[in-house]
Structure 1
Amino acid sequence: MTWHVAEDDLRAYGRGELEPPLLWSADTHLAGCAACRARLASLADPAALDAGWERLDAELDAPRPGPAERLLLRLGVAGHTARLLAATPVLRRSWLLAVAVVLMTTVAAAEELRAADSPTAFLALAPLLPLAGVALAYGPGLDPTYEMAVVAPMHGFRLLLVRTVAVLAVGLGLNGLATLALPGYGLRALAWLLPALALTATGLALTPRLGPYRAPALTGGVWVALLLVAGARSAGGGALPQFTAAGQGAAAVVAVLATGLLYLLRDRFDVAGTRTSPTGLTHGSTS
């Protein structure tokens, strides 16, 4: 060691009065300097010294934020919100890689079957991916920060929206990149966007009644059933009704109505002194 903590700083440290950045410097130095620890023990009040070591242990044991969390913190996101977002299961590499593989496979199939008027397989699948991502973003069996999310001092509806926006931003971004790989279809390749928003908003609006898993499962099932019925009726060729101008208008109306219903039901996530978490479970409110 080429330097040691000054005696006045050691006394202030022992009394718990040393302010950053001197506090951080003293913490780091004391962790590796036995001589300064001995001086501190002779100067400080034993109770204050124990509190200081407990604080140092807590700081050393605190988990280090990952790249995503550090980026969110630099963007001005609050620390607890950044931690909840960074730990969202479907924002991890395994999920993102799986979605990317599915999209690439679907794009390849659409390019292979260019005789069709539109990339039907891609348009049918793309709206389901954001819905699935939102459904898998919550729950005690999937979310590693479930307990932290349960006790987070945050309105249940706000927590739901925070994670939903994060998942949608990533999911729609991946779908958008896949759409760029289908330049031959022009604007028709973007026909998945409105159905994706409609399905996600509907799944969220049904969550207070059906729960976070059954609601998106039912919504996705209805979408698949509509595709099968439309496919059977238009077996002669042509775009499915869902991807025509009328179908796009209907999807936009459904998205608006479902968003309005979700807003009206926002208090269902916080009911009579208990808060309903995005998993459908209730727990005591925090202050």
Structure 2
Amino acid sequence: MKDDERDSAGWHADADDLRAYARGELQAPRLWSVDTHLVACAPCRRALAEVADPVALETGWERLDAELDAPRPGVFEALLIRFGVADHTARLLAATPVLRASWLGSVLLVLAMTVISVYAEDSPALFLALAPLLPLAGVALSYTPALDPTYELTVVSPLHGFRLLMIRTVAVLTASLGLNGLATLALPAYGLHAMAWLLPALALTATGLALTARLGPVLAPALVSGGWVALLVVAKLTTTHGTLPPFTGAGQGVAAVVAAVAAALLHRLRDRFDASRAHDLFTDFTHRSAS
């Protein structure tokens, strides 16, 4: 069936709408209706050609092609937009590697196995030792070029490097701390002591981010993780009974101070993240040119 015959019983765009469309002045949602209608209606396309000059018509079709080819947001991205998150920020969060189901599922599995071992040993020490490392690992992985399929896009995006880092950090921390909190609920017998991982987690993450400005996204979290493990080993060897020092009241106070100092240092070094992105872009361009 020809376009003329198929569309003869339907509505047609009126002349005023077609003239406004050709001039680029037609506003949504009328614009979307005319865009969609022109794809299937040959008479309206001919009418548009009569009222539009060639340049304006070409511009209109380019706009239509862009609308048709634009990627549709996923469920998570659409949900963020519905809650008022800006389009570009929602797209950036949706593309964060460690917010994918594979990463979140792995974290849940690790936490579940840790909770099971806590019940077997009747001590939350293993959970308290492991939980602070998960947010640090998540933040580090979200900023690692090798694991980020959108890394090149983020490097050239018109966003301050520090803001880009903070957007992804908040997203990863929200997910990681939320999963840790769910695991904590599975340990009701230990009361508030089961929450002793929170301040160390914030301290480790803030320290790792502050050191990333100088040491890079791989070495910095590796050193912080190693330092945390070494601290726990020493605490275990020197503590014959009772709670390990990092999870006592004094240890929690030290963790809070470390987190605050690291956050202040991170803010002071924020401009280094732009310099790092520029260096990465230059290095990538040089490598591509050489190859």
Give your verdict on TM over 0.5: yes
Equivalence for 1:233: 238
Say which of 75, 84, 104 aligns to 2:83. 75
How many angstroms apart in 2 are the aligned matches of 1:78 and 1:97?
27
Equivalence for 2:161: 156
Residue 103 of structure 2 corresponds to residue 95 of structure 1: yes
Shift of 1:132: 0.3
Say which of 190, 194, 201 aligns to 1:196. 201
Maintained 8 Å contact 1:211/1:280: no
Equivalence for 2:23: 15
How many angstroms apart in 2 are the aligned matches of 1:123 and 1:48?
65
How many angstroms apart in 1 are the aligned matches of 2:282 and 2:29?
39
Shift of 1:152: 2.1
More helix by share: 2
Residue 250 of structure 2 corresponds to residue 250 of structure 1: no
Aligned residues: 275
Shift of 1:178: 0.5
Structure 1 vs Structure 2 CA RMSD: 1.8
User: After superposition, what is the alpha-carbon deviation per residue over 1:61-96, rounded to whole angstroms, capped at 9, x for unaligned?
Assistant: 111111221122122222111111111111111111
Maintained 8 Å contact 1:208/1:280: no
Equivalence for 2:289: none
Say which of 143, 147, 151 aligns to 2:152. 147
User: After superposition, what is the alpha-carbon deviation per residue over 1:140-190, rounded to whole angstroms, capped at 9, x for unaligned?
Assistant: 322222222112222111111111111111110110010000000111100
How many angstroms apart in 2 are the aligned matches of 1:228 and 1:136?
25
Shift of 1:253: 1.2
Shift of 1:238: 2.5
Unaligned runs of 5+ in 2: 1-6, 284-291
Using the size of structure 2 for normalisation, the TM-score is: 0.89
Equivalence for 1:137: 142
Say which of 195, 207, 217 aligns to 2:222. 217
How many angstroms apart in 1 are the aligned matches of 2:183 and 2:152?
35
How many angstroms apart in 2 are the aligned matches of 1:32 and 1:229?
73
Q: Which moved more, 1:152-161 or 1:236-245?
A: 236-245
How many angstroms apart in 2 are the aligned matches of 1:49 and 1:276?
44
For residue 280 of structure 2, what is the amino acid of its counterpart?
L
Shift of 1:282: 5.3
Equivalence for 1:171: 176
Unaligned runs of 5+ in 1: none
Change (3 A) 1:281 1:218: same
Say which of 51, 54, 67 aligns to 1:46. 54
Using the size of structure 1 for normalisation, the TM-score is: 0.91
Equivalence for 2:280: 281
How many angstroms apart in 2 are the aligned matches of 1:228 and 1:216?
18
Identity %: 67
Equivalence for 2:3: none
